[in-house]
Amino acid sequence: APSDPDLVARARAAKEKLGDKVFVLGHHYQRDEVIEFADVTGDSFKLARDAAARPDAEYIVFCGVHFMAESADILTGDDQQVILPDLAAGCSMADMATAEQVAECWDVLTEAGIAEQVVPVSYMNSSADIKAFTGKHGGTICTSSNAKRALDWAFEQGEKVLFLPDQHLGRNTAVRDMGMSLDDCVVFNPHKPNGGLTVEQLRNAKMILWRGHCSVHGRFSLDSVNDVRARIPDVNVLVHPECKHEVVAAADYVGSTEYIIKALEAAPRGSKWAIGTELNLVRRLANRFAAEDKEIVFLDKTVCFCSTMNRIDLPHLVWTLESLAAGKVVNRIEVDKETESFAKLALERMLSLP
Ligand code: 13P
Ligand code: SF4
């Protein structure tokens, strides 16, 4: 549905009043009505860099989810304030790894006598606490666009990787991009004693994958791929690496949201694409490329938004911008200094990966 014109006018007026003081970041999964007001859009890697690149902006309004706003706070100056328009915009995957659980996991690895060989690699989609754990133990952060580079680096530092919290991105990168086998990977289940693993399994594994996943990307199945291939001959299947391994293995192309956009920009006229990622982005791309005669469909038959990304809507954005314009800071996300210093180590390691 088109946006309420009154709200659009209010958002414009508040943003104009704030001028260069405010910088609005929009993740690709945000609603159209929000993306319209974003100064930049991007995947989580690009947005982390973009936030760090605007030291002059007093307010960074992050239209995305909680962990992204935390990362922006870590990477921006102390005098800059990062704001999340709805505090309930979390990420179910990031919530699957808590600091306590990860500390317990490290104890298990220590008892198995392997902790010294293990380098933690944490997906951007994790809390600041997990990023701090990663920095403290000599590891790095990665995103879906640099996971292979992060793993290459980690395997130069140690023999094993503890990959948090997305088992699928970890497995897909290890098997698809680095030539490991499925047997090189084990899954650590934080809800079971010793992660549900024997000491021998831990000692033999190269990749210790945390048992987390994205509920949005987890909905795509091998059936979704087979169905779309039967329905649309010559379709190119392009999926995000948060999808299950069997989906990624059956796809033609795999990449981050930024990769997906670039692939479609470069696609020839008349080509057909089924995309396995969040629906706001897929719909926007389908509309954008229809004029170029590129047919773009959603990989699954059921509707699949990220419900927490969708919490940021125009009313929340208007409220945020109007409050800031009136001199009132709302919904500030602030990581404590101790956590920030270790998390920053891990994030900076990522930003300096070759
Ligand atoms: P990217 O934007 O890094 O591709 O990640 C997708 C995602 O799920 C963000 O939450
Ligand atoms: Fe988290 Fe998945 Fe939503 Fe991304 S799409 S924010 S990983 S739940």
Can you tell me the mean pLDDT for 17-24?
97
* Binding site residue list: 27, 44, 91, 123-125, 144, 214, 240-242, 257, 306
**Which residue ranges are tagged as binding site for [4Fe-4S] cluster?**
91, 214, 306
How far is it, in rounded angstroms, from Cα 50 to Cα 171?
28
**325 CA → ligand 2 middle, Å:** 30
Query: What is the whole-number distance in angstroms between the Cα of residue 200 and the centre of ligand 1?
Result: 34
pLDDT for 304: 83
Q: How confident is the model at residue 354 (pLDDT cuts 50, 70, 90)?
A: confident
Angle at the Cα of 19 from the Cα atoms of 13 and 25, rounded to 5 degrees: 90
Residue type, 113: G
For residue 262, count other CB atoms closer than 10 A to its CB: 12
* Residue 125 CB–ligand 1 contact under 6 Å: yes
What is the structure's pLDDT at 302? 84
Mean of pLDDT values over 35-53: 90
Question: Cα(36)–Cα(14) distance, rounded to whole angstroms?
Answer: 14
For 192, list phi and psi in degrees, rounded to 5: -120, 150
pLDDT(4) > 90: yes
Q: Decide if the complex's ipTM is over 0.85.
A: yes
Structure tokens at 100: 């306590």
> In the prediction, which pLDDT does 303 show?
77
> Mind listing the pLDDT tens digit for each residue in 282-329?
999 999 999 999 999 999 988 789 999 999 999 999 999 999 999 999
Tell me the CA–centroid distance for residue 304 and ligand 1, in Å.
15
Ligand 1: residue of 125, 126, 248, 277 to mutate (most ligand atoms within 8 A of CB) is: 125
234-245 pLDDT, tens digit per residue, is 999 999 999 999
Tell me if 216 CB under 6 Å of ligand 2: yes
> In which band, very low, low, confident or very high, does the pLDDT at 72 lie, cut at 50, 70 and 90?
very high
Q: Which domains does the chain have, with CATH numbers?
A: 5-90+309-335 (3.40.50.10800), 94-213 (3.40.50.10800), 217-298 (3.40.50.10800)
**pLDDT, mean of residues 31-40:** 97
Confidence band for 186, pLDDT divided at 50, 70 and 90: very high
Which tens digit of pLDDT belongs to each residue from 308-319?
999 999 999 999
pLDDT band at 276 (very low <50, low <70, confident <90, very high): very high
3-state secondary structure of 115: helix
pLDDT of residue 9: 98
Sheet-wide strand order for 160-164: 140-142, 118-123, 160-164, 207-210, 185-188
**Using 50, 70 and 90 to split pLDDT, how confident is the model at 48?**
confident
The pLDDT of residue 1 is above 90: no
Q: How much is the pLDDT for 2? A: 81
Spatial neighbors of 237 by CB under 8 A, at least 6 apart, are 225, 228, 229, 250, 251, 252, 253, 273, 274, 276, 299
- The pLDDT score that the predictor gives to residue 182 is 98
Find out whether the beta carbon of 44 lies less than 6 Å from any atom of ligand 1: yes
Ligand 2 centre and the CA of 313: distance in Å? 16
CA distances from 114 to 21, 162, 188, 221, 318 (A): 49, 11, 14, 35, 51
On the question of pLDDT at 43 being above 80, the answer is yes
| Confidence label for 52 from pLDDT (cuts 50, 70 and 90) | confident
Atom index in ligand 2 nearest the CA of residue 67 equals 6
Mean pLDDT of the chain: 96
C-alpha torsion 211→212→214→219, nearest 10 = 20
pLDDT of residue 49: 84
All residues at 6 or more sequence positions from 79 whose CB lies less than 8 Å from its CB, including other chains: 58
| Confidence check: pLDDT of 3 > 90 | no
Query: What pLDDT sits at residue 241?
Result: 97
Transcribe 200-236 into DSSP letters.
HHHHH-SEEEESB--TTGGG--HHHHHHHHHHSTTPE
**Cα–Cα–Cα angle for 5, 11, 13, rounded to 5 degrees:** 100
**Confidence (pLDDT) at 77:** 87
